[in-house]
Structure 1
Amino acid sequence: MNNIPPVVLLLLATILWGGNFVIGRAVANDLPPFTLAFLRWCVALIVLLPITFTALKRDWSQIKKHWIIVLILGFTGVASFNTLVYIALHYTTSINASLMNMLTPVIIYILSFIFLKEKLNRNQMIGTAISFIGVMTIISNGSLKTLQHFTFNKGDLIVIFAVILWSIYSLLVKQYAKELPGQSTFFVSITIGIIMLLPFYIHESFSTSMLIHWSVTSIFAILYTGILASIVAFIAWNTGVVRLGANRAGIYLNFIPVFASIFAVIFIGEKIISSQVIGGLLVVVGVYWTSRKINEAF
């Protein structure tokens, strides 16, 4: 991938991640959420093994030194985030779910303020408020009645919880980037996540209420999420970030709901409504506002 421009790599990653939301929605009635998550990461583990085997032996002592952090990474980033998104996609649209994912930078700022005692500047506080209004617009479908009676779609609420866990994962990756080697830690995190998902996968396999429907589509979904959305997107994103810089690369995450919306309309017949457009734009503005640099802090 060294010959590919970093912008192309970052766009490739967001295209593949945008497709992940649509795939999850498309096979919601064929593959139960824990089954899809478990099989996805099993495929990813198999593909990643020959890539990371040598590095894993070299990095093992460093990973063991921070085993609690790696355990949390496995729970939040592998076992929980995508599984909760797949559960949520039984109740909400892939467009809503992908739009909610844009909250990640804002939540990271909030978590850093609460747990790391990092100061919030005025722009971060304003941006957080704008993003919050955007999210409320999305999950209420722009209806004041929904806000008054607090009758939100439970799928949207599950996605918000998933994004909080993903933000914890992202914050830990950022905090321990120098102590933990990237690919080896990712491999071990996947292994931990698979172990955590195993009992839920077994339960779904024997459940009469959540039947698995094997088809070309369901097999494609497992291979897509396990290889393209997990491995290819991960390598493309990391390579692009290294070459372009984290700050400049971060804005490309906002392309995920763009591609997810396009795919959702084309392939599974979802419709974009005005509240999603308005709410999505507010979230983007909020995220942009929090990244603006000023000296004033609270």
Structure 2
Amino acid sequence: MKIPPYVLLLLATLLWGGNFVIGRAVSDDIPPLTLAFLRWCVAFMVFLPIAYRSLKREWPLLKEHWLIVLILSLTGVAAFNTLVYIGLHYTTSINASLMNSSTPIIIYILSFIFLKERLSKFQLIGTILSLSGVVFIITGGSFASLVGFTFNKGDVIVTIAVCCWSVYSLLIKQYAKRLPGQSTFLVTIVLGLVLLFPFYLYETLEGTATIHWGWSTIAAILYVGVFASIVAFLCWNNGVIQLGANKASIYLNFIPVFATIFAILFLHEKLHAFQIIGGLAVVAGVILAGKTNKQRLPS
């Protein structure tokens, strides 16, 4: 039975929303670098049997674009989730997921700067609106924090993580027709593990990588390694194939919705007015920027 694309896309965003909450929930039980490393160890073991045959066939193509594959691994595998897990030690999962919603806007900005793509009026207005929402969330809705440049360092770290993910997403978009999906993802996981290993080793040797083992800890590692990585990835890709990238992208706005629901139910986080206002501004900006407009601003 063929699963409808909207079910696949909603399931992917639900699992990704849960990733923010899990990262926050185990922040006192697993150090962030260790969690990131163990996540991709699990993901590698699960995904290797799925993508191994494709990798053998498509290896020459991956070698041809080795630098792009390396950058994809650095930004999308090694940096993004690691920075998110670090940031979640200092900020809430609601804040982190709301700021993650600004990814399409960062992609527009990067495309304008590096690819010389022109911005439409809708994209310009949407960018300003969305970034204003991000600043509103980071400052906690406080003008004094903005003037004094006193930001929550967790929010700043998550913002850097979002920029890394935006670079990853932009490169995936640019090389979608040149790089095979599954084998590329498998290689980026392997390279990501290589990049993360020295940091994991440092955390271990320094004695900061103390893991409080328990069923909840094991479940968290399995969740982020299997469901938030492999299952969500496969659901999202199949949903995009069926529905199309443009229509599918709007579903990313469900990530903060699911993350907020889970955070309130399981972590007892409180939803504040500044998060609602900032989140609505971010999402509204993304939707507005997604509109088409014949008149574009010169690059």
Query: Normalised by the size of structure 1, how large is the TM-score?
Result: 0.98
Mapped contact 1:77–1:169 kept (Cα < 8 A)? yes
> Which string of whole-angstrom CA distances, capped at 9 and with x for unpartnered residues, describes residues 36-87 of structure 1?
0000001000000110111110000000000000000010000000000000
Aligned residue in 1 for 2:61:
62
| More displaced stretch, 210-219 vs 249-258 | 210-219
Superposed, 1:136-285 pairs within 5 Å as 136-285=135-284
How far apart, CA to CA, are the structure 2 residues paired with 1:75 and 1:132?
A: 25
After TM superposition, give the deviation of residue 278 of structure 1 in Å.
0.5
Aligned residue in 2 for 1:99:
98
Q: Could you say what secondary structure the match of 2:296 adopts?
A: coil
Q: Could you say what secondary structure the match of 1:29 adopts?
A: coil
After TM superposition, give the deviation of residue 211 of structure 1 in Å.
2.1
Unmatched tracts of structure 1, length 5 or more:
none
After TM superposition, give the deviation of residue 209 of structure 1 in Å.
3.8
> Which string of whole-angstrom CA distances, capped at 9 and with x for unpartnered residues, describes residues 159-188 of structure 1?
111000100000000000111000000000
> How many residue pairs were aligned?
297
How far apart, CA to CA, are the structure 2 residues paired with 1:178 and 1:209?
A: 43
After TM superposition, give the deviation of residue 98 of structure 1 in Å.
0.2
How far apart, CA to CA, are the structure 2 residues paired with 1:290 and 1:160?
A: 19
How far apart, CA to CA, are the structure 1 residues paired with 2:3 and 2:265?
A: 28
Paired AA for residue 116 in structure 1: L
Mapped contact 1:74–1:189 kept (Cα < 8 A)? yes
> Which string of whole-angstrom CA distances, capped at 9 and with x for unpartnered residues, describes residues 271-291 of structure 1?
100000000000011001111
How far apart, CA to CA, are the structure 2 residues paired with 1:79 and 1:137?
A: 28
How far apart, CA to CA, are the structure 1 residues paired with 2:218 and 2:208?
A: 21
How far apart, CA to CA, are the structure 2 residues paired with 1:234 and 1:261?
A: 21
Mapped contact 2:31–2:208 kept (Cα < 8 A)? no
Paired AA for residue 293 in structure 1: T
Residue 210 to residue 54, structure 1, CA distance change in 2 (3 Å): closer
Percent identity of paired positions between Structure 1 and Structure 2: 63
Aligned residue in 1 for 2:9:
10
Mapped contact 2:15–2:228 kept (Cα < 8 A)? yes
Unmatched tracts of structure 2, length 5 or more:
none
Mapped contact 1:205–1:212 kept (Cα < 8 A)? no
After TM superposition, give the deviation of residue 210 of structure 1 in Å.
4.3
Aligned residue in 2 for 1:39:
38
> Which string of whole-angstrom CA distances, capped at 9 and with x for unpartnered residues, describes residues 20-42 of structure 1?
00000000011101100000001
After TM superposition, give the deviation of residue 216 of structure 1 in Å.
1.1
Paired AA for residue 241 in structure 2: V
Mapped contact 2:24–2:85 kept (Cα < 8 A)? yes
Q: Could you say what secondary structure the match of 1:30 adopts?
A: coil
Q: Could you say what secondary structure the match of 2:193 adopts?
A: helix
After TM superposition, give the deviation of residue 296 of structure 1 in Å.
1.2
Aligned residue in 2 for 1:295:
294
Paired AA for residue 219 in structure 1: I
Aligned residue in 1 for 2:20:
21
After TM superposition, give the deviation of residue 213 of structure 1 in Å.
1.4
How far apart, CA to CA, are the structure 1 residues paired with 2:89 and 2:100?
A: 17
> Which string of whole-angstrom CA distances, capped at 9 and with x for unpartnered residues, describes residues 128-150 of structure 1?
10001111111111111111111
How far apart, CA to CA, are the structure 2 residues paired with 1:78 and 1:15?
A: 19
Mapped contact 2:34–2:209 kept (Cα < 8 A)? no
Query: Normalised by the size of structure 2, how large is the TM-score?
Result: 0.98
Superposed, 1:74-113 pairs within 5 Å as 74-113=73-112
How far apart, CA to CA, are the structure 2 residues paired with 1:284 and 1:88?
A: 21
How far apart, CA to CA, are the structure 2 residues paired with 1:210 and 1:93?
A: 22
How far apart, CA to CA, are the structure 2 residues paired with 1:137 and 1:113?
A: 24
How far apart, CA to CA, are the structure 2 residues paired with 1:221 and 1:65?
A: 37
